[in-house]
Amino acid sequence: MCQLLGMNCNTPTDICFSFTGFQARGGLTDHHRDGWGIAFYDGNGVRIFLDAQATIDSPIAALVRHYPIRSKNVIAHIRKATRGAIGLENTHPFQRELWGRYWIFAHNGHLRDFAPDFDGSFLPVGATDSERAFCYILQSLRMQFPQGEPDADSLYQALRALAGELGAYGEFNFLLADGLRLYAHCASRLAYIVRQAPFGVAHLKDQDLSVDFKEVTTPDDRVAVIATIPLTDDEPWQQIDRGTLLAFKDGQAVHYDDMKTGAGCEPGCSLEAVA
């Protein structure tokens, strides 16, 4: 099993604090040692750092922790290999281009016997069920909207239907971004917090480290952080309901009338415990 971390903000923000706690789970406080990756949008561009080593041993992770890369949309993943060998081609997040935008995807869970027909527009490079799911989502979107990028509501509805369709194959927690929005689907375990004024102090669960957000923000900043398991032990993280797809924009969850995908797992559905 793997762990997910996402961030969506209304102003470019660094993720050093959250990544410090997240990184500790890659071999120090937890056993996700089979690679990690993090993607940062910067305008329409994307910068991805991938490493098949455990985060805790990785000089690239040390760089990411210490070098403040500011971004409005970030997706990170640490991997415990269950499907597909350890290797860079199987390391999340994955990247593809659709409609002249880079899309980024990371998955936590398993899809059993998911072997869709591919038309060649997006093909997996590695051997994970996760990359297959990502390619299938993009192929389906392109097929459904042949004229190009639809409006935000239509895109959300299409993604919700796809999350439901693929969730029928197993546990499908994922983070997906197109540079405009960050989508978070909870099948079994995913939580988030929105930090905004008045900002306070927060303390990491996985490292003895606190930050006073008052000192590093302006009153207009708003930052949503999404994680498999809450990263701090003194903030009111909100569990996302199972079978729900949230769309984040400008640091908050955009609400739709019906956010249910029908792909929530029953408690205990995980093949392996998350933590």
Active site residues: 2
Which residues contact residue 19 at a Cβ distance below 8 angstroms, ignoring those fewer than 6 apart? 5, 38, 61, 64, 65, 76
Applying CB under 8 A, which residues contact a copy of itself? 42-52, 59-60, 63, 67, 87-91, 95-97, 99-102, 120-126, 142, 146, 148
d(CA 150, CA 158): 10
Residue 50 or residue 223: which is nearer to a copy of itself going by CB? 50
Which residues contact residue 198 at a Cβ distance below 8 angstroms, ignoring those fewer than 6 apart? 214
What HEC string does 171-235 produce? CCEEEEECCCCEEEEECCCCEEEEEECCCCEEEECCCCCEEEHHHHCCCCCEEEEEECCCCECCC
Residue 75 or residue 190: which is nearer to a copy of itself going by CB? 75
Please, what is the minimum distance in Å from the beta carbon of residue 248 to a copy of itself?
21
Residue 71 or residue 228: which is nearer to a copy of itself going by CB? 71
d(CA 223, CA 8): 6
d(CA 74, CA 89): 20
Residue 116 or residue 126: which is nearer to a copy of itself going by CB? 126
Residue 100 or residue 236: which is nearer to a copy of itself going by CB? 100
Please, what is the minimum distance in Å from the beta carbon of residue 28 to a copy of itself?
20
Please, what is the minimum distance in Å from the beta carbon of residue 64 to a copy of itself?
10
143 exposed, middle or buried (CB, 10 Å; 0-12, 13-18, 19+)? exposed
Phi, psi of 95 (to 5 degrees): -130, 135
d(CA 225, CA 7): 5
